[in-house]
Amino acid sequence: MNPHLRCLLLPLLAPVLLGAPGHLDPTFNPPDASLGLNDQVYALAVDSDDSLLIPRGFLARLQNDTSADPGFVEFTDLNLTATEGGPALVVNLRRFSGTQGAVSVFIDEFPSAPGESPATNGVDHFFTPKRVSFADGQSTATVSIGIANDDVIGPTKGFGLLLRDPLGGVTLGSQTSSQVTLLDDDFGVSLQSGEFDVSELGGSVTIVLVRVGGNLNPFSVEVETVPETAQNNVDFLPTRTRVEFSIDSTFGSVSIPVFDNPDPSGSKTFHVRLRDPIGTPNLVAPTDAVVTIRDNERPGGLDATHTRLVRALNLVGFYPGADGSALIVTNRFFNSTRPSRLKPDGTFDADFQPAVTNITTPAALYDDGRILVLGAVGATVGTPLTRLLPDGRRDPDFATNIALGTTFPGLWPQSDGSIYVAANAISQGTVKRTGLARLQPDGQIDPGFTVSNLAGAVKALVTDSQGRIYIGGSLSSVGGVSHHDVVRLLPNGSLDPAYRAQAQPVNPGEMRALALTPDGSLYVGGTFVRFGTNNRPYLVRLTPTGSVDPGFGLEGSGFADIHGTPSVDLLALQSDGRLLVAGHFSRYQDTDLPASLVRLRDDGSLDTGFGTGLIGANATTTLDGSVLGMRIIADSELLIGGHFNFIDGVSWPSVARLYLSTPTGQTPRFDRAALDTDGTVRLHLAGGVNGRYQLESTGDLQTWNPLQILDLTPAILEITDLPPPGTEVRFYRLRSALQR
């Protein structure tokens, strides 16, 4: 087909032939005059004289005669691109299907397409709308548009060009508009944030740099640290290094080591600054960032003297002891659950060899280190209860014929050696109990304690100084009386008529944790949303008579969880009345929380002075950061275990000990050093206390090597070290190995 032909399909009422220059051809007579509007065209053909034939009755035939046709004008390109500071943009127009006579069109500007930053005429480019003329026989024309240049990093911008108002008989073609894109040639580099933070136990802080602008050329920039309250070589390693950006790279980073100061000194700061760019990048704010080194010796901070586990454990149970030791139960393989024991310093107790190696949770610890487990020793009916000695051997003084049902078992050993046991069935020979029983110290069911008609499951239990027992769970009735709330029993197991919780929890819910105050008030945590008519989501305090205490918390405001269903699972009460709460939640009273572990004041408000930082599966999100067990140790620290790998951005899996208050200075400090002629280094100490410490050294302040374990007393004021021959620089530090 002739490439110069152009076909215009017109809605004709009957088939016609258009002659040059577009007039009807009276010599064309199609065979079927009924063909016309809305008929379909299936194919095109060219006659030998270059006429264009349109079949299906030959609706029309266009002859190849453009000698007297002014033709069409349109943009050659639908999309054009120019670079800031580059040469002028040349816009091409073409004239086709006829070039007879002088014609013209008007070229104008219109705003850019939606979603693109608009270019400003006179600022980003220079264009004057104008009429473009074509002389007789002329088929092309050009328009030049100037492109501005600046030193400001900006987005890609654009504008549009439009053809209109044709004169001289010329017709506008299909490409009457063209989109122009202006690329910014300026680029730069900035810090990703004006603030970075890291725990002093984190080892290092990563400073992230970001390329700004669309230019992808390689460049480099220098990063340097500037001390503020944090000191060079004491709190962090002074750094001055160059970060290289390769072609197409968007991010760069530098890692700055930070050091643990074992004494409580509060958070400290230093600055990171960008300087001396190479490769023509601009420095874009922020170019100066504050780095905060968070002190871990704070309420909620990690106690680094507690041994960190090498890897995460698949915990199914965590039971802390009064001395800071813990029984841990891990799911190993083929549903095997094995108990292990951690010493108070967090190391595994190699002397603990349990007689029961596959147990069912829960378990429990006596304050003297003895252990109650549910395992396959000593009974053949139901789930047997076994007591182990602190070294793991079976206790020969404990009955071996106690069997528990498998539904909702619970164990609560008491200071007098007795044990409260909850299960759907409790049996010892011919003696049977349902729901709750008390065992004597030797493991025999106590005949002096009977709870009649208990329906439901007991999941939480505490006792007071008078021997009365508070129970909660998913109860429906006790002693023949409908109960869905907290029940107080007398020492013989009968209902205490003087105590009746004001209302029943509804919606529905269960009580999972109880904590009793010295004055008889009771904290109740669980899955309930309301406590009777009181809207107290998941946590409530009851007065000594059982009514809801309006002085704790806010009506209708409590815990919430954006990840799922909230619950309060664990409670621990400090001697000063502040309450530690753990469970599944991410908000409290409209405050977002970094972890499902908080401390509340006596009025129920959030204690913002207690901050654990993120507790979760990774360093930046909480994900699964649940706590399985916790206990206050010596009223100064909190031992926790659960499903977490990181605390406060520090890799610290499964088990951790947290400060409840800011510890006092407890570690020795170097105050001066001396070098003998034989190369011996003498390190003088100040502020020493009783304790075991590890002396470490390094030559680069990054890799620390242990030298010796020291048992220090206040009388020891000096330690010595003889570095290997040829050592030029040697740094020292002391880390607590095991406090006495």
Condensed to tens digits (0 to 9), the pLDDT of residues 643-655 reads: 888 888 888 999 9
Residue 352 has pLDDT above 60, yes or no: yes
In tens, the pLDDT along 542-578 reads: 999 888 898 998 776 788 887 778 899 999 999 999 9
Q: Fill in the DSSP letter of residue 113.
A: P
DSSP 460-483: EEEE-TTS-EEEEEEEEEETTEE-
Q: Which pLDDT belongs to residue 537?
A: 84
Q: From CA 232, how far away is CA 269, in angstroms rounded?
A: 11
Q: From CA 191, how far away is CA 198, in angstroms rounded?
A: 16
State the residue for tokens 């874009």: 284
CA distances from 592 to 295, 528, 587 (A): 22, 21, 5
Hey, what are 684's tokens? Answer: 């003088």
Hey, what are 154's tokens? Answer: 């900006």
DSSP percent split of the chain into helix, strand, coil, nearest 5: 0, 45, 55
Among 477, 483, 478, 520, smallest CA distance to 505 is for 483
Q: Which pLDDT belongs to residue 3?
A: 40
Q: Residues 686-695: what's their mean pLDDT?
A: 64
Q: Which helix (H) or strand (E) holds 74?
A: strand 72-75
Query: Residues 6 or more apart from 99 whose CB is under 8 A from it?
Result: 70, 71, 134, 136, 137, 138, 139
Residue 428: Cβ within 10 Å count: 19
Higher pLDDT, 114 or 23: 114
Per-residue pLDDT band at 285 (split at 50, 70, 90): very high
Q: Which pLDDT belongs to residue 78?
A: 94
Distance, C-alpha 506 to centroid of its chain: 33
pTM: 0.71
Q: Which pLDDT belongs to residue 343?
A: 93
In tens, the pLDDT along 34-92 reads: 444 444 444 454 444 444 444 433 344 444 455 568 999 999 999 999 988 889 999 99
End-to-end CA separation in angstroms for the chain: 100
Dihedral angle over CA of 422, 428, 432, 434, nearest 10? 10
Dihedral angle over CA of 240, 245, 250, 252, nearest 10? -30
DSSP 138-177: --EEEEEEEE---S-----EEEEEEEEEEETT-EE-S--E
Among 639, 518, 513, smallest CA distance to 575 is for 518
Q: How many CA atoms lie within 13 A of 456 on its CB side?
A: 23
State the residue for tokens 């030193």: 151
Residue 28 has pLDDT above 80, yes or no: no
Higher pLDDT, 732 or 448: 448
Per the CB < 8 A criterion, the answer to whether 321 and 365 are in contact is: yes
Per the CB < 8 A criterion, the answer to whether 76 and 94 are in contact is: yes
Report the alpha-carbon angle 361-326-627, nearest 5: 65
Q: Fill in the DSSP letter of residue 51.
A: P
Per the CB < 8 A criterion, the answer to whether 126 and 109 are in contact is: no
Residue 586, phi-psi category: left (phi > 0), alpha (psi -120 to 50), beta (remainder): alpha
The 3-state secondary structure of 279-332, one letter per residue: CCCEECCCCEEEEEEECCCCCCCECCCCCCCCCCCCEEEEEECCCCCEEEEEEC
Q: Fill in the DSSP letter of residue 386.
A: E
Among 199, 345, 344, smallest CA distance to 261 is for 199
Higher pLDDT, 730 or 556: 730
In tens, the pLDDT along 297-347 reads: 889 999 988 999 988 888 888 999 999 999 998 876 545 577 889 999 999
Q: From CA 28, how far away is CA 671, in angstroms rounded?
A: 113
Higher pLDDT, 96 or 499: 96
Per-residue pLDDT band at 266 (split at 50, 70, 90): confident
Q: Which pLDDT belongs to residue 379?
A: 37
Residue 135 has pLDDT above 90, yes or no: yes
Percent of the residues in the chain that have a pLDDT greater than 90, as a whole number:
46
Residue 306 phi/psi, 5-degree rounding, is -85, 130
Residue 20, phi-psi category: left (phi > 0), alpha (psi -120 to 50), beta (remainder): beta
Higher pLDDT, 711 or 209: 209
State the residue for tokens 């989501």: 537
Q: Residues 216-230: what's their mean pLDDT?
A: 93
The β-bridge relationship of strands 219-227 and 268-278 is antiparallel
Q: Fill in the DSSP letter of residue 366.
A: -
Average pLDDT, the chain: 82
Report the alpha-carbon angle 632-637-640, nearest 5: 65
Residue 12 has pLDDT above 50, yes or no: no
Q: Which pLDDT belongs to residue 716?
A: 60
Q: Report the SS3 class of residue 29.
A: coil
The one-letter amino acid at 534: N
Q: Residues 359-384: what's their mean pLDDT?
A: 74
Per-residue pLDDT band at 276 (split at 50, 70, 90): very high
Hey, what are 710's tokens? Answer: 């020291």
In tens, the pLDDT along 475-529 reads: 888 877 777 778 999 999 999 988 876 545 555 678 899 999 999 999 999 988 8
Q: Residues 616-620: what's their mean pLDDT?
A: 60
Among 414, 459, 416, smallest CA distance to 435 is for 459
Q: Which pLDDT belongs to residue 243?
A: 97
Per the CB < 8 A criterion, the answer to whether 595 and 617 are in contact is: no
Q: Which pLDDT belongs to residue 721?
A: 86
Among 65, 76, 62, 75, smallest CA distance to 100 is for 65
Per the CB < 8 A criterion, the answer to whether 471 and 458 are in contact is: yes
Task: Point out the least confidently predicted range of 18-32, 443-457, 545-559, 672-686.
Answer: 18-32
Task: Point out the least confidently predicted range of 10-19, 112-121, 180-189.
Answer: 10-19
Q: Which pLDDT belongs to residue 713?
A: 62
Q: Which pLDDT belongs to residue 337?
A: 72
CA distances from 270 to 232, 235, 339, 419 (A): 9, 9, 46, 55
Per the CB < 8 A criterion, the answer to whether 108 and 162 are in contact is: yes
Task: Point out the least confidently predicted range of 216-220, 599-603, 617-621.
Answer: 617-621
Among 598, 701, 611, 615, smallest CA distance to 650 is for 615
Q: How many CA atoms lie within 13 A of 265 on its CB side?
A: 17
Per-residue pLDDT band at 389 (split at 50, 70, 90): very high
Residue 377 has pLDDT above 60, yes or no: no
Distance, C-alpha 50 to centroid of its chain: 72
Among 198, 229, 344, 296, smallest CA distance to 663 is for 296
Residue 726 phi/psi, 5-degree rounding, is 90, -5
Q: Label residue 560 exposed, middle or buried (CB < 10 Å: 0-12, 13-18, 19+).
A: middle
Q: From CA 14, how far away is CA 148, in angstroms rounded?
A: 56
Q: From CA 273, how far away is CA 282, in angstroms rounded?
A: 14
Higher pLDDT, 699 or 290: 290
Query: Residues 6 or more apart from 324 whose CB is under 8 A from it?
Result: 344, 345, 633, 634, 637, 639, 657
Residue 424, phi-psi category: left (phi > 0), alpha (psi -120 to 50), beta (remainder): alpha
Q: Report the SS3 class of residue 611.
A: coil
